[in-house]
Amino acid sequence: MTARNMLRVVLTPPHEEGSTSHSDCEPAAQEPPLTVEFDRDAPGDLETLQFQVFSVTDIPPEQQLLRWNGTPLRRDTDVAIIDPAVCQELHLSVSGDAPARAGEEEKEEGVDLTPLQAMFPQYSQKVLAAALSLAGGDLDTACSMLFEDGDTLAAQVEPVPTPSQESGNLDTDRKRMAFLQRIQAHVDQVMTYELQSMLDSAREVIPLSTILLKAEEAFNASQQSGGGYPSDHEYQVRELLRWFKHEFFSWVNEPKCQSCQSGGTKLVWMAPPSEEEQSFGAGRVEVYQCQSCQSITRFPRYNNAGKLLETRRGRCGEWAQAFTLCCRAMGWKARFVLDFTDHAWTEVFCEGLQRWVHCDPCENIFDAPFTYECGWNKKLTYVLGFSNEEVVDVTRRYTKNFEQVLTRRTDCSEEFCAQCLEMVSEMLMSHLPPHEVVNISQRRAAEQEELRQNVIREELKEEERRQRISGNE
């Protein structure tokens, strides 16, 4: 590609459209202009260029407002007119409304897919339109549908070809590699919970004496009444859940405006993380615009439990990470549990019950594993538990019909899944003293037998009947 076919893209904040200056909260202000390659001599319209811009900015084409040499570009613009010899900069601003095609009628109210495209860039317009249609045009309902079961809807709207229609081995290898990479990423994540600095940070924020005192009181009361859990450990876990939910962490749908502190912000695009944000594991940054003062607020999706103890906010992934770290700081055996259908929580090995127990900090629920399948109506696929000692497929614990779940597990074969988790677990245990390996192996064998038996309770607990609370508060 020659220099004549190179363009710089200068990102302009929405509230300063048409200006080349940047606010302090705009990440592009500290970054050099992005570089885009395009073939000026090839036929095509602006849409081709917009997708190239999308590939380096993560800003969907529908939200891009491009100007070249001071002239707004329309979707039917021929890229041949864009001559870097005249002007080597494209000025890019972001809007919730896409520039209309020449002669295209205005979209009817209620069918704009732009908000959904910003929140769910992994899905096509066809899938987003289907979700909005099924939701009766209600954006919030469509969002909930996509968060909870977007992959299933995508499979229905755009079915994946059967193996007989595909190249076969290549597709299988890609799926296996993606599965392995996902597992490795979460193994790396939970290993950070063992860092002394992380544990110390958690111990500094946990009101230990208060939690132990309230747990002891609850345990003594249960003993007098002749019911409850067999040890005070279970009550300690329940009290930590209560404190975390109601006193420590906060749920974020849309963050408050950093300028005027109003709650009326709207997601406008996804931005790359700054160097500092990246150092705390942020892979992406949600950028919100205040509907009152038009200021920009950044919401980094941190993937560092220690940092989350400082910010004390997020969604289910952030909640589960920070809570799992707190459990480890209490000295308990704990797992970060990932639901591949987009949720996360914690499991704690409770000494009194002598088993792993489901703990959801977002919902403040304890030992209610059928919550997601029965109360939330989730179509579960893979539910994996990650700790510094092992990775376990715990899906059977959370479903009443594992055979049905199996029909949705298409990332890899069951044999490959089992081999992969066993391999990773052996690697994690290889660094432990022999006596610990023996204890872990015995506990693993007992858990596997528990999961294989998969004894199904007919009667649901109250928490397992209710719909989701987190995200709607």
Are 155 and 387 in contact, with CB atoms under 8 Å apart?
Answer: no
Write down how long the chain is.
473
CA proximity to 424, closest of 80, 207, 183 = 183
For residue 343, indicate whether it is catalytic: yes
CA distance 450 to 392: 13
Cross-strand bridge partners of residue 393? 384
User: Which of 22, 186, 343, 358 is flagged as catalytic?
Assistant: 343
CA atoms of 302 and 318, how far apart (whole Å):
7
Sheet arrangement for strand 383-386: 365-366, 355-360, 343-350, 334-339, 383-386, 391-393
Active-site residue, 420 included: no
Residue with tokens 């022999």: 434
With a CB cutoff of 8 Å and minimum separation 6, the contacts of 450 are 355
HEC string of 419-465 equals: HHHHHHHHHHHCCCCHHHHHHHHHHHHHHHHHHHHCCCCCCCCHHHH
Helix, strand or coil, per DSSP, at residue 139: helix
Catalytic member of 143, 257, 316, 417: 316
15 is catalytic: no
For 109, other C-beta atoms within 10 Å of its C-beta total 7
Q: How far is CA 364 from CA 211, 232, 472, in A?
A: 15, 18, 14
Task: Enumerate long-range contacts of 414-419, CB under 8 Å, 24 or more apart.
Answer: 416/176, 416/179, 417/179, 417/382, 417/393, 418/393
Distance CA 177, CA 66 (A): 37
Cα 256 to Cα 119, 261, 289: the distances in Å are 18, 5, 10
Annotated catalytic residue, options 360, 362, 393, 417: 360
**Secondary structure element (H or E) that encloses residue 269, with its range:** strand 265-271
Of the candidates 89, 92, 37, which has an alpha carbon nearest to the alpha carbon of residue 63? 92
Q: Which residues are marked as active site?
A: 316, 343, 360
